[in-house]
Amino acid sequence: MSDSKREQAERQQLLSRIQELQDALNNVGAYVFTKDINGRYTFVNRMVCELFNCTPDQIIGKTDEAFFNLAISNDLRQNDIHVMENNVKVESEEVNYIAATRERRVYWAVKIPLHNSTGEVSGLCGISTDITERRNLEQQTHEQKILLDSILNHADAYIYMKDRHFHYRYVNSKLAELFGVSQAHILGKQDADFMPLEEARKLNAMDRRVLRLQRKQCGEETITHPNGEKRHYWSIKVPLFKENQVDSLIGISTDITEIVQLRKQFEELANTDALTGIFSRRHWMERAEYEFKRARRTGHAIAVILFDIDRFKHLNDTYGHLTGDRAIQMLVSVCKNILREIDLFGRWGGDEFVAMIGNARFEEVLLPVERLREAIARTPIMSDEGEPIYITSSFGVVLSHQHDTLANLFSSADTALYRAKCEGRNRVCLFKPDGVGGGSSRADAIVK
């Protein structure tokens, strides 16, 4: 083969390899280019041509000023100068503005210096990847995170996320304030790192139900804080799934301590007589129903005592209602001193009162009741003018083994009380099945 033919074949082979390299650079998925020492383009791949909407011939020989608005952002030119003046490789993010469209684009650029045969820098080679969409998405995500954090941190609730082992993945600022540490300090830790183990176990009980049942759980949680204060929270906890199993949970807990306290106050108001502090009629009946049923199951008898103040209307009419209130309060005070703590004691209404004594026997019932009657009769109250006033009371007593319902028990106690009134007041009458009331000896009574 002649030299000319050999040279032609080698030239053709070289052109073929250049074309292969050109095809590879056109399909690399990045902007590939070279520039001379003055910043003029000497090579561009297809993506660069598409970006500038030009042919290679329209780009080669020109500088970036022809295609980018360097007055707005000069990152590109500054990096080129740094590469060629310092003979170093640069990897950095560049913000460029396309001159024709004023579109803002963000690139991750890698630029290396090129050298001539003597080793001097003669230009650079650059590969740029368009990361505009990624940066826009990151910016949107960042803005959404700021907005979400703002909402979560200003919500009047404790908001958190835990993994399946109850380690915190997220807490809002309100929960961090509750624990007295920063949000970052809580991440990765468990409740037991911030409170006694027993309190942490109570708090994790609902967490465990979420994992076990794999559905939303709601309920009240009570925690005693290190200062001894007991706080109540209403919590909603929702499972988050990953690969068909609970991976973590999100919790929202609201402090309802004031509501719980108000609820207790309302319950106390409903269950307690305002003047005397003893059980109201409604609450006494609820407790009495339970005790009556229990006595029926165990076979033990209970005694119901119904009593009132003798001639209470006359007392009110003569000395006024404030004196009547003092009489009621005195009677209650005396009863509290004599009745046992386990005995149910309540105000039936007006000047009527009711008591229930458990595990009662005939011979043991009348003695404490008689003591009540005597103590009331000898304890004075004071009128508005400071005058001592003595009152008396009448009692009706019945034992439960004679009756099958609580209503019948009350009816019999009322019958016994009526008999005590008919027999002269200031006495105790025990109901008997044959309708004959048994009474204690009548004590002297001072009737006003």
Give the pLDDT of residue 442. Answer: 30
- Token reading at 193: 């790192």
For residue 147, being part of any structural domain is answered with: no
Q: To the nearest whole percent, how much of the chain has pLDDT over 90? A: 62
177 and 118 fall within a common domain:
no
Domain stop point among 232, 259, 286: 259
Q: Which amino acid is at 27?
A: N
Domain stop point among 259, 291, 313: 259
Distance (Å, whole) CA 394 – CA 424: 9
Burial class of residue 314 in the structure, from the number of CB atoms within 10 Å of its CB (0-12 exposed, 13-18 middle, 19+ buried): exposed
Q: Which amino acid is at 165?
A: H
- Token reading at 156: 């009047």
85 and 162 fall within a common domain:
no
235 and 295 fall within a common domain:
no
The number of domains in the chain is 3
293 and 161 fall within a common domain:
no
For residue 296, being part of any structural domain is answered with: yes
pLDDT in single tens digits along all 448 residues of the chain = 566 777 676 677 766 676 777 777 888 789 999 999 999 999 999 999 999 999 999 999 999 999 988 887 788 889 999 999 999 999 999 998 888 888 889 999 999 999 999 999 999 999 999 999 998 998 888 888 888 888 888 888 999 999 999 999 999 999 999 888 999 999 999 999 999 899 999 989 999 999 999 999 999 999 888 788 899 999 999 999 988 889 999 999 999 999 888 888 888 888 899 899 999 999 999 999 999 988 888 888 899 999 999 999 999 999 999 999 999 999 999 999 999 888 999 999 999 999 999 887 776 788 889 999 999 999 999 988 889 999 999 999 998 875 678 899 999 999 999 999 999 999 999 997 664 444 433 322 222 2
276 and 424 fall within a common domain:
yes
Bridge partners, residue 91, by sequence: 110
Give the pLDDT of residue 392. Answer: 97
Give the pLDDT of residue 447. Answer: 29
In terms of Cα–Cα distance, which of 337, 437, 443 is closest to 392? 443
Give the pLDDT of residue 444. Answer: 27
Report in angstroms the alpha-carbon separations of 249 from 224, 232, 238, 374, 402.
23, 21, 5, 66, 59
305 and 405 fall within a common domain:
yes
Distance (Å, whole) CA 233 – CA 175: 12
For residue 447, being part of any structural domain is answered with: no
Q: What is the pLDDT of residues 211-227, one digit of tens each?
A: 999 999 999 999 888 78
228 and 355 fall within a common domain:
no
126 and 212 fall within a common domain:
no
Distance (Å, whole) CA 148 – CA 151: 5
For residue 149, being part of any structural domain is answered with: no
In terms of Cα–Cα distance, which of 146, 76, 67, 74 is closest to 107? 76
Three-class secondary structure of residue 438 per DSSP: strand
Please give the residue range of the domain that contains residue 289. 272-439
Torsion of CA 373, 379, 385, 386, to 10 degrees: 180
In terms of Cα–Cα distance, which of 110, 131, 96 is closest to 32? 110
398 and 429 fall within a common domain:
yes
- Say which CATH number the domain at 177 has: 3.30.450.20
**How many Å is the Cα radius of gyration of the chain?**
47
Give the pLDDT of residue 438. Answer: 42
